[in-house]
Amino acid sequence: MMAISVSAFGGIHWNGANFVGDSPTTTDILGPFYRPGAPMRSNIIPNSSTGTPMNLHGTVFNESGNIPLKGALVEIWQCDEKEHYDNASDDYLFRGAVKTGNKGQYSFKTIVPVPYKANPSDDSSWRPAHIHMRVSVPEQQDLITQIYFKGDQYIDNDTWASSPGAVNRVLPIVKNDQGNHSVVFDIIMNKEIPLDAQVYQKITGLYKMDDKSNIEFIKNDDLLFIKRNGHLLEGLRYIGNNTFEGGIGNPKVSFELLEKDGTSATVSFYGKTITGEKFLKYGE
């Protein structure tokens, strides 16, 4: 396997009118509610919503920070005004995707997000209001990130929103003269570091871990998605040295090729480490 390191940090800054910079937008956790295949639509507000409408828009740039990227797929998802995610319906409520235009622009009509309790019975589990994003375009590393909003009371106590890597993703919500809410988020992608298809073939599949769980690794674009006991945990990017990692504080996975064409995985997440070997292969 190739060992190539890729920086996951960097950022853009506010110049008084918009965000500018020359280093990649930082990553964040995928979260437990990502659903592939969201409809292509720029308005993700259901007719029944009572939330406050908000426009989210910006430009997607390549790694230089000044060349806009046409045709980038921008996916977003968030909870509704009642703190709920639509995780099952065919309507994909508060989920949508668009492709950037000739000048790299994207735009969504959504609502101002609300904070929610990650655990309804735990008052310390409040997450600040946020919107999830995934951006995909050829020759650039897929980006999984989140945006947060200035003045949110829960940011300081949230592991991910309070991380130094998120500082340029805590954004102001601005009202225009008509009272409409708007957020601008310009995105700088990272250069894709391709990993040989044969390597992905070696590492994808189902693994039996030493904590008796099953973990599945699935290639999706240039990300490696990880499922644990059938539950999608994270989209991992390759960082070199046979290692993939997710967003802030989340899974890091190192692979080792074994004798007799086997593969082992060491997964570190939420303060613990588990190991296991692949027992179901995909098309080898």
**Tens digits of pLDDT across the chain (284 residues):** 322 222 233 344 444 444 445 578 999 989 889 999 999 999 999 999 999 999 999 999 999 999 999 999 999 999 999 999 999 999 999 999 999 999 999 999 999 999 999 888 888 889 999 999 999 999 899 999 999 999 999 999 998 999 998 999 999 999 987 889 999 999 999 988 777 888 888 899 999 999 999 999 999 888 999 998 878 888 998 887 788 988 876 789 999 988 777 899 999 987 889 999 998 765 54
Distance, CA of 104 to CA of 64 (rounded, Å): 14
Per-residue pLDDT tens digits for 165-216: 899 999 999 998 788 999 999 999 998 877 788 888 889 999 999 999 999 9
Residue 255 · residue 262 · CB < 8 Å: no
Grouping H, G, I as helix, E, B as strand and the rest as coil, residue 123 is: helix
Grouping H, G, I as helix, E, B as strand and the rest as coil, residue 197 is: helix
For 83: left if phi > 0, alpha if psi spans -120 to 50, otherwise beta; the answer is left
Domains of the chain plus CATH, in order, are 13-191 (2.60.130.10), 197-281 (2.40.128)
Give Cβ neighbours of residue 144 (< 8 Å, ≥ 6 apart): 27, 28, 29, 30, 132, 133, 134, 223, 235, 246, 247
Distance, CA of 146 to CA of 134 (rounded, Å): 9
Residue 184 · residue 147 · CB < 8 Å: no
Distance, CA of 74 to CA of 225 (rounded, Å): 18
Residues 174-183: b if buried by 16+ CB within 10 A, e if exposed:
eeeeeeebeb
Distance, CA of 145 to CA of 177 (rounded, Å): 30
Structure tokens of 226?
A: 């990880």
Among 237, 197, 218, 226, CA closest to 281: 218
Per-residue pLDDT tens digits for 28-42: 989 889 999 999 999
